[in-house]
Chains A and B, each alone.
Chain A
Amino acid sequence: MSQLLPVLVLAIFVITFGCVLLWFSSLISIRGKDDPVKDETYECGLPSENTGPTKISVKFYLTAILFILFDIEIIFMYPWAVTYGDFISGGHGLYVFGAMAFFLAVFVFGLFWEVKSKALEWE
């Protein structure tokens, strides 16, 4: 708890700071005339044509999903990296290296396959 509290306090302070600034600038800002065109979405001066859903390349989803998978693999290396020195000092260096070597081999194979399958290519 003692470590969490300052983080929460800072987060709340930043939010308050932001809100107060937004409120203050809305108080002293200069108001122009209201105009329906002004409220329109900015599309370089043309009337906006926001009809129907936007089509987006599936690559964005693919990138995001592959990111999650690789991110999990990388997260699993953190406890390994932090205990690596202790394992070596304890005389089990080769064991812990081997344990990770298999995992890393799968990781490298996965990455190699993704590159090879052109899943990561944006044209």
Chain B
Amino acid sequence: MLAEAIAFYTLAFFLVFFAYRVITVPNPLHSALYLVLMMIGLAAAFFNLGAQFIAGVQLIVYAGAVMVLFVMVLMLFDLRSELRAFSRGLVSGALKVMSAALLAGIALGAANSSVAILQPPADGAVSADVTKQLGVLLYTKYLFAFEILGVLLLVVAVGVVAVSRMKGGTHGHH
């Protein structure tokens, strides 16, 4: 019980710290890299809470796909002007303070309500069954949402291609 609490709060501390760095680091690429660390930490937190499949999805989709895209895109831009714009100045300073305050508020609220989370499920060994239960629920009770999701993804895929076709881009040139 105590070990669980220590593990949870240590992970939570690192998560909040990485999230804080995401906002405060001036270089956008570095803040994307902190976001990657945060996503991995979030996967660890899910894992710690017994949601192993969700942890795997978090790793594969967010840390392994979405953030790869972010880092890839940021790497290719010349970020010097953005660096200047975001590293000093009254507005960006105020924005930083505000987001830090917001984050602190969220963290406090989360810490307050997370006490209930600390009643862990009876045994972590049933986690494989949890995944099966997830599958059963997904394909029975939430079947409609699941099918709609497939259509939604298709719409997004079509939209992406359409946007990349717009005139004025670098499409077609190497």
Contacts and interface: CB of A to CB of B under 8 A. Distances in A.
A and B directly contacting (CB within 8 A)? yes
Interface of A: 1-5, 8, 52-62, 64-73, 75-76, 78-80, 82-83, 86-87, 96, 99-100, 102-103, 106-107, 109-110, 113-114, 117, 119
B157 A52 contact: no
Contact of A83 (B48, B136, B146, B169): B136
B1 to A, nearest CB: 11
- SS class of chain A's interface: helix, strand, loop or mixed? helix
A120 to B, nearest CB: 9
Contacts of A55: 170, 173
B51 to A, nearest CB: 12
Given A62-B164, A79-B53, A57 B170 contact: yes
A75 B143 CA distance: 16
Interface string B1-44: 00110010000000000000000000000000000000000001
A114 B156 CA distance: 12
Interface in B157-174: 157-158, 160-161, 164, 169-171, 173-174
- SS class of chain B's interface: helix, strand, loop or mixed? helix
Interface string B131-152: 1101110110001001101110
B97 interface: no
A79 B78 CA distance: 42
Given A57-B170, A71-B60, A99-B139, A66 B131 contact: no
Contacts of B124: 1-3
B161 A54 contact: no
A106 B170 CA distance: 30
B61 A71 contact: yes
B78 A53 contact: yes
Interface string B62-78: 00111011001100111
